[in-house]
Chains A and B, each alone.
Chain A
C-alpha cells in the first residue's frame, strides 16, 4: 500500500489567480484540498465533500466548479480562480463590495463559493433578473441569510459593473 501511494503522487501545475503554482498530489486528492492544503489558499471552504453545498466553488478555466468533486490531477495545466484572486490593487471586486454593502453574508463560510458562482453568473449574464440570480446560485447553500441580501448584492454589483445607478 505504501509503495502504491508513494509512487502515485505526481506534480500538478496550475495557474491560480494568475500565478503559476505547483505541488504534489495523490491521484485521489481533491482539488479543494490541493488548493487549501498544498497551495495554502484557505478561502475555498469545504462544507459537505459531496458537491451539495457549493462552499468550495472555484473557477476552472473560467467555469464554476465545485472543487470537492474535481481531482487535483485534472487541474494540471489549467487555470483556477479562487476568492483570493478577486481583489485587484487592494480594491474589492464589485461583488465583494456589494456583498459587504448589502449585508450579503453573516457567518461568511459560504461566501467565497457564493462569490465565485456570482462572478461566473455575471460574466455569462451581466443583467440577470431576480429569478435568474436565484437559479444561478441554487447550487450554493447559505444557512444564515435566507438569500435575500445575496440576491440584492448580486443585483447591486451587476448594476455597478455596468456603471449604471444601483436600485435602492
Chain B
C-alpha cells in the first residue's frame, strides 16, 4: 500500500502521488478546459485525397456562416513565408497545402469563428477542386525509378529521403561469409499511432497591447516549442510564453509542432484574440505523428554452438509525406543502432533508408527512445530464429551471448558505451518468477493434448536519456535538462524543471529526489513544470529522458543547495564548516551528534541570520549535461495459447523483470511497466494504421484503430533487479518505455514458439485473430 508524502527519506518509497487529489476530483486543467475572454475557435479543412493537385479553393459560402471571423489558406501563408515549416528532423512540412496535397486528411484551410460549431460549419462549406494523382502507398514502390515524384519542392527528384549507416560493412560481410550458421529474417513493424486519450490542441493568445504571445499547448517539450515558434514566426523569443497545462497522455505524440498550432498562432496574431484549436480523434490519429513503419531485414551469423559472430541489418523507413520524425538531429534513424541489444556481437552493420509515401508524416518515438522499439523487436525476434535454427532453448541462446557484467562499461560494435547491466541476473529472476521449467513441462503436456501453447522470451536493452551534448541536439539545441530549486524561509521548497510530465508522476518523484537530498519530505517540495516563463530551459519529457536528465539535474541542484546550507549550518552550530557533516537528514557537528540542524532551521537562517558577508537566499539551478546515456534492460517471459477455432491468442502469463537502476518510487515504476506492457500488447495484437491502395487511412478512429480495453489487457506480473547507472547522480536509468520496447517480441516469440513445431519462424504483427487463423489454416491446424 502506498504511503503518504509526509514520509521522511522518501527516495525508493511508494509515496502516493501528489498530483492525484486534483485529478480524481476532475480538477486537472487540461488544454480544452481553458477558456479565455473573447476566445475564438479554429477548425481545419482537410484533403480527402492522398495525392492530388489543388485546382481551386472557393471560400464564399464558408464566409457566409454567421460567426466566421477569418479563413486562412496556403496562399495566404505563402505571402507571409509561412506555408512551410521546418520539422524537427530537418525536413520541411506544409502548414496549409499549396500546389498539391500529399496525404489524406492533410491540412488545406483554417477557419476561425466565434464558436466551435460555426468553425466546423464553415469548413463543410469550403469548396476545393482537386485533380487526383497516382498515390504511392508502399515504401518499396516509392523507391522504384518510375514511381511518381511526391515532393516536387525538393531539389532531389526522387522519393528517397536519407541513407544512414553505422558499423563496419566489410567486416560484417566477411564474418557472415565465414560463419557456419546464418539466419535471415524479414521483420516488419507496421505503422501505429500513440493515440493518447487527450488529443492535441492549443490556444494562441496574442495581446497586441503588450506584443506578447501566450501559447497554451499540449506540449511534451514546451521550451523547444518556444524556440521553434520564435524561429518560425519571427516573434522575439522573450515575447512568447508557452504554457503546457496538464496533459492527458503523450507517448511521443505531443513532441512535434503541428500545422494546426501554426495556424492558430497566425490567426491570433492577425485577429488579436485568443484562438483555440483542439483536434478531433480522427485528426489526431490520421494526421499527427505516427510511429514505426519500419521494414527490416536482419542476418545473424553464429557458430554451431550458437555464439553470435555478426549482425547485419537493412531497413526501409516509411516517413510518409514529410520527414517529421522527432529525432535528435544527428540521428535520422534515431537510436536504431542499439540493435545489437544485450548481446556481444564482435561486428555489426546497420543501414536505414528513409522514404516518402502518400501517408501522414512522421514518425515519432511512440513510448520509445527514438526507434529503440524497432531495434529491440528486430534483434529479439531474430535471436529467436537463431535459437530455432540451432534447436536451442531461447533462454540458453541468450545466456550464451549476453554481455557479461565484467564487460561494463561495454563498447558496442555500433558505437555505444553501455553503462551497466547484469543480464543473467535479470533473466534468472524472470525465469524464477515464472517458474520456467514448470512452464515448459506444462507446455509439453498441453501440446501432447493437441493445444497450441507457446512461451516467448525477450531480454532487451534500451538506450535512453538523450543526451550528452557532444552528440545530442535538436536543431542545434543541446539535449541537457535542468532544475531550479528555491527554499523558502519556512523550509518549504518549489522546484521547477525543463521537463513536462504527462502522467509519469514527476510532481511526486522529483519531489522525492530533492527531498531525499535535503532532509525534507516530498510533501514539502512543490514541483512545477510546463511554464517557460518560470521553468529553466530544458528539452522536455519523451524518450524516457526525464529521470536520466532532469532527475540528475534535480539531485545536483539539491546538492548545490546543500553546499551553501552547510555554511549556514556551521554558523548556526557555531563550528567551522569543516566540522559539519550531512547525516542524510540533518547537518550535524562532527563528534557531537546531538548538535544538529535541519533544512528548516537553515532555510530560516538563510533569510534572517546569515554568516557575515554571505549572500542572502537559498536557491540553486543546475543544467545537467549527462556524461552518457543510460541503458535500462529487462527480461520478459510470455506464455500464450492459440485458439484453433478462432485464431485468437490468449496471453496466459506475462512476467516482466525490469532493471532501471535505482528506483525512485516502486509504485510509480510498476505503474509505468503495466502501462507500457499494455501498449506493447496493443502493438503486438491490435494496433495498426493501415492504408488502402488509394492512400485512404483505414483506421482513423477508435472503432477501427483498436487499443486494448480492460478486457483484452492481460494480467501482468512484475519483478525487478537493480543495477544502478554508475554515472547518474542517483543511479537511476528511466523506465517509462522499457515495457513497450521489450514486450512485443516476447508476445510474438511466444506465438512463434507455439507454431514452431510446424515450421513457423515468423509471423507478422499485429496478430489479429483472422491473421493467426489464416496461418493455422495454411498449416492445417484449424478446428
CB distance from A154 to the nearest CB of B (A): 10
Interface residues of B in 15-37 (CB under 8 A from A): 16-17, 19-21, 23-30, 32-33, 35
* 0/1 interface trace, chain B 673-715, chain A, CB 8 Å (1 if under): 0111111000000000000000000000111000111110101
Which residues of B are found within 8 Å of A150, using beta-carbon distances?
Answer: 710
Q: A43-B25, A103-B667, A109-B249 are in contact. Are A55 and B197 (CB under 8 A)?
A: yes
Which residues of A are found within 8 Å of B199, using beta-carbon distances?
Answer: 47
Q: A48-B701, A146-B674, A148-B674 are in contact. Are A43 and B281 (CB under 8 A)?
A: no
The answer to whether the Cβ of A14 comes within 8 Å of any Cβ in the partner chain is no
The answer to whether the Cβ of B646 comes within 8 Å of any Cβ in the partner chain is no
The answer to whether the Cβ of A84 comes within 8 Å of any Cβ in the partner chain is yes
Asked if B33 contacts A144 (CB within 8 A), the reply is: no
Among B25, B281, B671, contact of A149 (Cβ-Cβ < 8 Å): B671
CA distance A92 to B728 in the complex (A): 39
Asked if B26 contacts A100 (CB within 8 A), the reply is: no
CB distance from B664 to the nearest CB of A (A): 14
Asked if A135 contacts B711 (CB within 8 A), the reply is: yes
CA distance A147 to B64 in the complex (A): 48
Name the residue in A45, A84, A87 with the highest tally of chain B Cβ atoms < 10 Å from its Cβ.
Answer: A45
The answer to whether the Cβ of A76 comes within 8 Å of any Cβ in the partner chain is no
Which residues of B are found within 8 Å of A143, using beta-carbon distances?
Answer: 194-197, 249, 251, 675, 679, 707
CB distance from A71 to the nearest CB of B (A): 13
Q: Write the chain A residue with the least CB distance to B14.
A: A103
Asked if A100 contacts B671 (CB within 8 A), the reply is: no
CB distance from B577 to the nearest CB of A (A): 42
Q: Write the chain A residue with the least CB distance to B19.
A: A108
CB distance from A75 to the nearest CB of B (A): 18
- Which of B458-466, B498-506, B622-630 binds A? B498-506
CA distance A148 to B713 in the complex (A): 9
The answer to whether the Cβ of A46 comes within 8 Å of any Cβ in the partner chain is yes
Interface residues of A in 146-163 (CB under 8 A from B): 146-151
The answer to whether the Cβ of B570 comes within 8 Å of any Cβ in the partner chain is no
Which residues of B are found within 8 Å of A15, using beta-carbon distances?
Answer: none
CA distance A48 to B281 in the complex (A): 5
The answer to whether the Cβ of A52 comes within 8 Å of any Cβ in the partner chain is yes
CA distance A49 to B247 in the complex (A): 18
The answer to whether the Cβ of A67 comes within 8 Å of any Cβ in the partner chain is no
Q: Write the chain B residue with the least CB distance to A107.
A: B503
Q: A45-B30, A147-B678 are in contact. Are A52 and B281 (CB under 8 A)?
A: yes
Asked if A101 contacts B2 (CB within 8 A), the reply is: yes
Asked if A105 contacts B23 (CB within 8 A), the reply is: yes
Q: A48-B281, A105-B23 are in contact. Are A151 and B702 (CB under 8 A)?
A: no
CA distance A42 to B715 in the complex (A): 33
Among A36, A84, A107, contact of B196 (Cβ-Cβ < 8 Å): A107
CA distance A151 to B668 in the complex (A): 16
CB distance from B753 to the nearest CB of A (A): 23
CA distance A168 to B17 in the complex (A): 19
Name the residue in A99, A142, A149 with the highest tally of chain B Cβ atoms < 10 Å from its Cβ.
Answer: A142
Asked if A147 contacts B701 (CB within 8 A), the reply is: no
Name the residue in A36, A43, A139 with the highest tally of chain B Cβ atoms < 10 Å from its Cβ.
Answer: A43
CB distance from A111 to the nearest CB of B (A): 6
Q: A47-B198, A109-B198, A143-B251 are in contact. Are A149 and B280 (CB under 8 A)?
A: no
Which residues of A are found within 8 Å of B195, using beta-carbon distances?
Answer: 143
Among A43, A101, A107, A137, contact of B247 (Cβ-Cβ < 8 Å): A107
CB distance from A3 to the nearest CB of B (A): 9
Interface residues of B in 424-451 (CB under 8 A from A): none
Q: List 8 A-B contacts (CB under 8 A).
A: A45-B197, A47-B248, A92-B24, A100-B21, A107-B248, A144-B249, A145-B671, A147-B713
Besides A36-B33, A48-B702, A143-B675, 11 other A-B contacts (C-beta < 8 A): A37-B35, A43-B25, A43-B27, A50-B703, A100-B16, A100-B21, A108-B28, A108-B248, A134-B710, A134-B711, A140-B710
3 closest A-B pairs (Cβ-Cβ)? A43-B26, A109-B248, A107-B503
